[in-house]
Amino acid sequence: MIILATHNSGKIKEFKRNLIQLNNLNLVDLKTLGITNVADESGFTFEENAKQKLSSYFELLKNKFDFNKNILISEDSGLEVFSLNRQPGVKSARYGGEKLSDRDRNKYLLKKMVKIPLEQRKAQFVCVIAIAGSGIPLKTPKIFRAEVSGIISLEEKGDNGFGYDPIFISSIFQKTNAQLKDEEKDSISHRGLAIKKITPLLEKMLI
Ligand code: IMP
């Protein structure tokens, strides 16, 4: 079994649809397991946070699941806007206040950038995945990173995806991520690319 250590339904959907072709796949997430604990994310980098989440959930779950056999995956991701000194970065999920909805958060960011012209709106999404269990010790997890570059649009567009997707235009498609079909987003997204990188390892681990 693979335990995906997240409650974020946008991420869960993307992991599921990108790993579906794996043989012997049994992917469960924290929601499905009924786990409500939220791990600390106090790191300064996506890598630190991905490792922090991996350790927290490993400790929490190790008495219930045998990690000699089962696999634990954590993921930390976010949006870096270069003209804002790479904010919101590791704080992407909480930018502007814990209680904001995705839409409110997008409005908050657009407002912050209202005076920034298009040519200075460069940004990137980053995704870091950490893997332990089934032969990979928690002390030396496997870490994978992928990025996608683009710009922050002037207004929100599209209803697909989640988070900052309605205001991020990747360099590859001249549309926001939220205007893309699932398979289009997966073909270029930070998470789609990071999942491609972990797939050969998971294939070996699931034999
Ligand atoms: P965390 O990794 O749980 O700390 O949160 C990552 C946050 O970054 C999400 O809550 C979103 O706000 C944002 N984010 C990460 N990946 C994506 C994506 O694919 N589309 C839109 N927003 C994303």
pLDDT, residue 172, reads: 95
Per residue in 165-187, pLDDT (tens digit) is 999 999 999 999 999 999 999 99
- Contact between 103 and 162 under an 8 Å Cβ cutoff? The reply is no
Written as one letter, the residue type at 136 is I
pTM of the complete model beyond 0.75:
yes
| Any ligand 1 atom below 6 A from CB of 93 | yes
Whose CA is closest to 93, among 15, 26, 40? Answer: 40
Element (DSSP H or E) covering residue 105: helix 102-112
Whose CA is closest to 180, among 162, 204, 160? Answer: 160
102 noted as active-site residue:
no
| Any ligand 1 atom below 6 A from CB of 8 | yes
| Any ligand 1 atom below 6 A from CB of 82 | no
26 CA → ligand 1 middle, Å: 24
pLDDT, residue 207, reads: 85
Per residue in 42-70, pLDDT (tens digit) is 999 999 999 999 999 999 999 999 999 99
Pocket test for ligand 1, best of 6, 92, 95 (most atoms within 8 A of CB): 92
Residue bearing the CA closest to ligand 1, atom 14: 78
Catalytic residue among 29, 66, 76, 159, which?
76
Per residue in 3-46, pLDDT (tens digit) is 999 999 999 999 999 999 999 899 999 999 999 999 999 999 99
Length of the chain: 207
Residue bearing the CA closest to ligand 1, atom 23: 163
- According to DSSP, residue 41 is labeled -
